[in-house]
Structure 1
């Protein structure tokens, strides 16, 4: 191949990469990390800084992945913020208050998330109520039930649980005293969801539902069953994060998890997923999650006013929405030229 041909191929590759939906997200990640690396210095770029934002990214990232799948399919799930404390409280009551083995409590906690996800999916697919309203309703319903049962059974809004050594090791330990084991679980979720969305045929179904649900149904795609399954996956992921928090801190609190509602959605949007559905990628969601976590912890290491963090995250969100539209227009124009 000649030098001119190699240069042309390289330019074409860069042009194609620039039209990827996560291209703008990656640029934002580089800029944000460079900004806080300059202000935070060696502490932020060293192990303390990396462990800080990776631990944050792992938990919110596990929730953001299935939330991203739902958004690609044109749906929303606001109830994740109530499932996290509900699952941890369920597991803590079963294994902490009643003294049953930890695996039993964990199974009950994860089952809680699956049940909430099933109810959400069933209501969304069987009624004409928008998913936003359905999941807001289930969020408040689960919050109320969690508080009511906790007070009724335990007489408190907090329940402690001391897990056995093995359960603590795989679900709640800190490696080197800094890096939480949840990072490995996040990596496992990333690989699994990547395969689901970008390798398996189900991924095409998800994109089709987000693009045009009626056309997808007419094409034979089981839209109702897939939507219910996606909501159950979202509930499972949120419940799993609740279990991770319980095993890490050995206590379940009723008033936790609310920050995950909008944090997960912000990670997904910053990662290039369109609010209208039908477009997005797992890589983009991961990039958006890391960007959010860096901003979240970078404020602390840089010594800036905490309110600045909200301003930066808000600006990132607006920039992400604008860049999503821009990169999507570029991709569409490129596809049109090829035809």
Structure 2
């Protein structure tokens, strides 16, 4: 009776298998992969169920919707990678616009001067948030929650005190309006499609953030601070300066979207922006940023913002009840957290291996 022997795989075959597994694990361990797969699936799904989404004009409308969340989410994502939160990001957007509009309208000052003063004021809020966090050791969740309530009340109270209503006056006839409108709220045509300038700004901010995080010493510091602040401090990373700088970055991009909102609509409601801070965080988390810090990237955050913009509009394009959008966000957040933990484990295992 003959005996069948099994020939073991050759060394080259084993090496090839190891290389294949290495590449697959390396790909899966990237923060943005889960969000990219989700974005592709959702995109295809809405192409099927929402015929209105199939036009180029609808796609660029989705990009615009994504950019209004995505620009601030870029900074919020970087802050979360650095291990902190900012729950005042939504109302800072409104505060920036209100300061610009009311200050200039009441004093008759050029809007450009008001925009600069608004920027200084916004950066001061960011600095104060960061300084209180690093000085007191109180969690950023609580510090910025306090800032959220202060700004929310001030936005409504001061606006009503100055204007007699909860909205700013129309500013489109004031000096400096044309220049600022061109920078923050203009649009241009590509064929028959209208492209909002915020889409271009969004791409630029994402590219800048990706460069900083992946190619600069500051990016290394942000990951180090978010991963383990004590260890980072021990090797000479300026932890306090990094954290304060990240809070100020959130305020800067909040100011930017505040300017866009003001010059897009020429007036601003004092109650706007409440709740948007959660959308920024959701975009970052869906894009692969860990709530615990030290993990994520700008591309993932951008994909997360695109998922938000696509879903919020495509539910309407499909003719569904838009109230389901919040339920979808909740499901996406839960799924994203689970996927992110799995990806983090893969990344950690690859580093250990």
Aligned to 2:323: 307
Query: Partners in 1 of 2:198 and 2:325 — Cα distance?
Result: 24
Match of 2:48 among 27, 32, 38: 38
Alignment pair present for 1:257 and 2:273? yes
Map 1:274-313 onto structure 2 (within 5 A): 274-313=290-329
Map 1:42-57 onto structure 2 (within 5 A): 43-57=52-66
Query: Partners in 1 of 2:185 and 2:109 — Cα distance?
Result: 19
Aligned to 1:168: 181
SS at match of 2:129: helix
Largest Rg, 1 or 2: 2
Aligned to 2:258: 242
SS at match of 1:252: coil
SS at match of 1:183: helix
The number of aligned residues is 334
Match of 1:147 among 152, 156, 171: 156
Match of 2:210 among 190, 194, 198: 194
Contact 1:83 1:112 in 2 (8 A): no
Alignment pair present for 1:132 and 2:141? yes
Contact 2:171 2:177 in 1 (8 A): no
Give the Å deviation of 1:303: 0.8
Contact 1:120 1:134 in 2 (8 A): yes
Contact 2:25 2:346 in 1 (8 A): no
SS at match of 2:271: coil
Give the Å deviation of 1:9: 5.9
Return the TM-score normalized by structure 2.
0.89
SS at match of 1:175: strand
Contact 1:175 1:181 in 2 (8 A): yes
Match of 2:79 among 67, 70, 78: 70
Alignment pair present for 1:22 and 2:32? yes
Give the Å deviation of 1:94: 2.5
Unmatched tracts of structure 1, length 5 or more: none
SS at match of 1:179: strand
Give CA deviations for 1:181-239 in whole Å, capped at 9, x if unaligned. 11111122112212221111011111111111111112111111111111011111111
Give the Å deviation of 1:149: 2.3
Return the TM-score normalized by structure 1.
0.93
Query: Partners in 2 of 1:172 and 1:97 — Cα distance?
Result: 23
Contact 1:62 1:186 in 2 (8 A): yes
Query: Partners in 1 of 2:257 and 2:273 — Cα distance?
Result: 9
Query: Partners in 2 of 1:213 and 1:331 — Cα distance?
Result: 20
Contact 1:112 1:239 in 2 (8 A): no
